[in-house]
């Protein structure tokens, strides 16, 4: 991470590496801040720390400085103090960098970002061989787990990124998310500019696109749907992006078409990545799913995939080393992804997560294809399909709809039922509700019920 920033800082020190609505930081400033962090970590003999600050101008230098001296950083999610308290205990953190005033009860040494970033820089020398990094999962399946990575393996994933000068990438993910880290690595491997609004919701993202000259953006399909809906409702139009990237969730074909229409001059890519197995590259052909060419590439390939009983398995050389507090895994071995897929022609099509399948009276129903249908109905801005517990059938397919402004709910309901009429009876939505917003976590729709 540090070496990516330093390389650009040496070639072009005044190039802007980070921009917010408030100010910009050059690559040289980011490098110097990272050196201060590294010096502070060395002087204080801190080998592991957490960050509970969400501003990119703090997180970026802390990550870079820690990667230089081999200190393990964990970026916490923007949560309540009680959650932070639990995380400190669960992940044995003794040091938390934060300027939050509500963390006084946390059982760790709280250090202000100004102290870490303001330390006098010193000669650091060669980075150690092991440079750990810990990413927390979103915890949708229970308590979050710590996914152990190493910077050398992470940086390997962006080794082929071509240098550029004029790309301005929107940071639409939290930096506590693996996807946020991927954007960071890509931006600094390319020598581009990271545009980091706060908070990182679609409404702020859209404003940052308009005000801060964003040219490239990577976000979840859910984020893009919200952003498009927001742009439609405020009527102020969309910026002329050059690149639209999607990842983190299965991507509906209709959304790809909608994005292609909304951003006519943008390349549209899909990234398939996860905290556990890292990034596997991108699909740039504008079609949903992955090419079957990714399957069975052989032992020499950096990324290889196979399908086992309808589930995608993967082997990468940039994946995790294991989970915090658990025995190490075979980092280069095969892993089940939890993604259920089918091969249609030359395409691997995602059907949903194995954990999201709805069992309706013994019939397994995938929520994604239903969401795709409903999402295409005029008057529907967003749709969420999930299993609702039911005494008769164990579960029924439940549907939440965010209606487009001015849409007639009764009319939309009739249209949705007509759109689903040819599904097998178990897959037809039996509970339809109109809501202002659908439940999300980390920019992804929550389809699993508690």
Partner 1 sequence: MSTSATDVEQTVIGFLTTIEKLPEAFGPSTSLYAGGAGLDSLETAELSAILEDTHGADPYSAGEMPQTLAEIQAYYAANSA
Q: Which of 192, 231, 360, 420 contacts partner 1 by CB under 8 A? A: 360
- Give alpha helix (H) positions in 91-200: 113-117, 151-156, 178-190
* The Cα angle at residue 136 between residues 153 and 104, in degrees rounded to 5: 130
User: Which residue, among 344, 220, 348, 340, has the nearest Cα to 290 in the 3D structure?
Assistant: 348
DSSP designation for 325: T
Burial class (CB in 10 A: 0-12, 13-18, 19+), 121: middle
- Least distance from C-beta 396 to partner 1, angstroms? 5
Q: Is 86 helix (H, G, I), strand (E, B) or coil?
A: helix
Interface with partner 1 (CB under 8 A), residue from 104, 391, 436, 450? 391
**Residue 410 is a binding residue for partner 1 (CB under 8 A):** no
Among 152, 433, 437, 449, binds partner 1 (CB under 8 A): 433
398 part of the interface to partner 1, by CB under 8 A: yes
Among 396, 401, 419, 420, binds partner 1 (CB under 8 A): 396
Give the helix/strand (H/E) hosting 271.
strand 267-274
Binding residues with partner 1: total (CB under 8 A): 15
Residue 426 in contact with partner 1, rule: CB under 8 A: yes
* Token couple for 194: 């990271």
Quick check: helix, strand or coil at residue 247? Answer: strand
**Eight-class DSSP state of 57:** H
Q: Answer yes or no whether residue 390 interacts with partner 1 by CB under 8 A.
A: yes
Bond prior to 199 in cis (omega within 30° of 0): yes
The residue within the footprint of partner 1, chosen from 322, 393, 404, 434 (CB under 8 A), is 393
Q: What is the phi/psi pair of residue 431, to 5°?
A: -135, 115
Q: Could you give the 3-state DSSP secondary structure of residue 218?
A: strand
- Comparing CB distances to partner 1, the nearer of 22 and 422 is 422
Q: Which of 284, 417 has the CB closer to partner 1?
A: 417
Q: Least distance (Å) from partner 1 to the CB of residue 392?
A: 4
Identified binder of partner 1 from the candidate list 13, 128, 325, 361, rule CB under 8 A? 361
**Residue window 155-194: x/- pattern of binding to partner 1, with contact defined by CB under 8 A:** ----------------------------------------
Residue of 104, 298, 378, 425 that binds partner 1 (CB under 8 A): 425
| Residue span binding partner 1 (CB under 8 A) among the ranges 33-41, 239-247, 379-387, 391-399 | 391-399
Cα–Cα dist 329/326, whole Å: 9
- To partner 1, the closest distance from the beta carbon of 383 in angstroms equals 17
Among 90, 242, 306, 388, binds partner 1 (CB under 8 A): 388
Identify which of residues 201 and 388 has a Cβ nearer to partner 1 in the complex: 388
Please say which residue, 11 or 411, places its beta carbon nearer to partner 1: 411
When binding is defined by CB under 8 A, the residue of 42, 90, 232, 430 that contacts partner 1 is 430
List Cα–Cα distances, 297 to 270, 304, 308, 318, 369, in angstroms: 20, 6, 15, 16, 29
**Please, where are the H alpha helices in 94-220?**
113-117, 151-156, 178-190, 202-211
How many residues can be counted in the chain? 450
Nearer to partner 1, 291 or 431 (CB): 431
Question: What is the distance between the alpha carbons of residues 251 and 286, in angstroms, rounded to a whole number?
Answer: 11
Residue in 392, 422, 436, 450 binding partner 1, rule: CB under 8 A: 392
The site for partner 1 (CB under 8 A) is made up of: 360-361, 388, 390-393, 396, 398, 425-426, 428, 430-431, 433
């Amino acid at each position: 991470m540090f070496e990516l920033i330093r390389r650009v800082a040496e070639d072009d020190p005044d190039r802007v590496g980070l921009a917010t609505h408030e100010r910009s930081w050059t690559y040289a400033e980011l490098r110097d801040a990272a050196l201060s962090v590294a010096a502070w970590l060395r002087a204080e003999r801190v080998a592991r720390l957490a960050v509970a600050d969400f501003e990119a101008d703090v997180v970026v230098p802390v990550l870079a400085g820690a990667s230089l001296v081999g200190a393990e950083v964990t970026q916490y999610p923007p949560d309540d103090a009680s959650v932070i308290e639990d995380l400190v205990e669960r992940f044995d953190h003794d040091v938390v960098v934060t300027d939050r005033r509500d963390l006084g009860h946390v059982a760790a040494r709280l250090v202000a970002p100004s102290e870490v970033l303001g330390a006098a820089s010193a000669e650091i020398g060669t980075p150690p061989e092991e440079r750990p990094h810990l990413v927390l999962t979103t915890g949708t399946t229970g308590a979050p787990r710590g996914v152990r990575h190493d910077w050398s393996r992470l940086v390997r994933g962006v080794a082929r990124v071509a240098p550029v000068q004029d790309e301005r990438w929107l940071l639409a993910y939290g930096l506590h998310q693996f996807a946020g880290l991927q954007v960071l690595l890509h931006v600094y491997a390319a020598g581009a500019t990271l545009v980091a609004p706060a908070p990182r919701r679609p409404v702020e993202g859209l404003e940052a696109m308009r005000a801060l000259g964003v040219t490239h953006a990577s976000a979840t399909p859910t984020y893009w749907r919200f952003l498009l809906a927001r742009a439609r409702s405020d009527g102020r139009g969309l910026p002329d992006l050059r690149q639209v990237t999607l990842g983190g969730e299965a991507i509906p074909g209709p959304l790809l078409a909608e994005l292609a229409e909304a951003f006519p001059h943008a390349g549209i890519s899909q990234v398939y990545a996860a905290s556990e197995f890292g990034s596997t590259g991108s699909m740039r052909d504008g079609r949903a799913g992955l090419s079957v060419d990714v399957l069975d590439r052989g032992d020499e390939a950096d990324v290889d995939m196979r399908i086992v009983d309808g589930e995608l398995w993967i082997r990468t050389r940039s994946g995790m080393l294991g989970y915090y507090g658990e025995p190490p895994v075979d980092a280069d071995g095969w892993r089940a992804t939890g993604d259920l897929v089918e091969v249609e022609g030359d395409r691997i099509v995602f059907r949903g997560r194995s954990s999201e399948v709805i069992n309706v009276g013994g019939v397994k129903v995938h929520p994604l294809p239903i969401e795709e249908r409903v999402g295409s109905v005029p008057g529907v801005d967003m749709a969420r399909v999930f299993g609702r517990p039911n005494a008769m059938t164990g579960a029924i397919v439940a549907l939440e709809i965010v209606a487009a402004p001015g849409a007639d709910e009764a009319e939309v309901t009739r249209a949705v039922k007509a759109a689903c009429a040819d599904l097998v009876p178990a897959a037809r939505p039996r509970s339809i509700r109109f809501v202002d917003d659908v439940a999300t976590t980390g920019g992804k729709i929550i389809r699993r019920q508690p």
